[in-house]
Structure 1
Amino acid sequence: MTILAAVAVTAATFLAMEGVAWGMHKFVLHGPLWFLHRSHHVRHPHRFERNDFFFLFYGTVSMLCILAGSATKDWPFWVGIGIALYGSVYFFVHDVLIHGRLRFWRKSRNAYLRALNMAHKMHHKTTGRDGSEEFGMLWVSPKYYTLAWRRPAPERRVTSTKQQKQA
């Protein structure tokens, strides 16, 4: 497989994963597997939630594809790489930026990230299986861009270590 074809397969897989994630989220997670996904829609004191098992599922699919194509670096290998890349971006955007599971990111001034955050908050407005909207992860409805551009960006405050200790 040529480098150009490998890049094309990886990129196409990455992009297709947004559609897969949307469909799985709407019809499976908010459907028959709600008993696992519900943990993501309610507050809880635990570091991990049942919903985290879905990372294992996609990680396993990615790993199996990589293993299946690793000897020849054929298309299954690059599909597995595309799934792994999407999963990595998903983890960073969803778990780190939006839900703050790793606390090193603060409010963003970037319109895309702010729109994405607003759309995700709208999804979590309902704690039940039905009535949610915005099931994708990286694609954001245009109405949230409009809101992100309309609302002022959060102010960044630079505080010294001394000021933080006093607070």
Structure 2
Amino acid sequence: RLVADSRNVALRHTAGLSTPQQVQMVLFALYGLMDEEETYKKAVKRILRRRYRALYRGIGLEPVENPNYTYYYTLLDMEELSERLYGKEFSRWFMENFPPEEFIIRLAKEAGVVLLPGKGFEVPHPSARVSLANLREVDYLTIGRTIRKILDEYYEEFRKKGDPNAQS
């Protein structure tokens, strides 16, 4: 740690936490020890679960609940979502015809929200990771509605390609 505290910032910038970060961590830990009823922790969990449910309400699907989820992040697997909404045939078409990052880029343009790739960087997987810790509940509802709108548009394109006489 002494070496990392040297003034050679460019060489040691990732070696540790800054003093303000260390103080903040101490305060969080102290509060965690003082809150014996876990009031804060339970309140945060309720908020995160509401945001998770709002996201899926916007998509128009029942969320998958799991007592082991932290709900701090959720992974939107586009292959799974497209299949749950419109079936295997559409999901297969969707996966074959669009690069994994296209959906994330389109969502950023249309909803003003930037999501990270779900499986990490440089991994071509059709998923997005949503942080449920940053926005208001209504914002997650809006994100969900935009996701559904985009998938609905892809589905209309799928229907038109499958049936040239299909009406919107």
Same fold (TM over 0.5): no
- So what's the TM-score if we normalise by structure 2? 0.26
Tell me which structure has the larger Cα radius of gyration. 2
* Larger strand share, 1 or 2: 2
* Larger helix share, 1 or 2: 1
- So what's the TM-score if we normalise by structure 1? 0.26
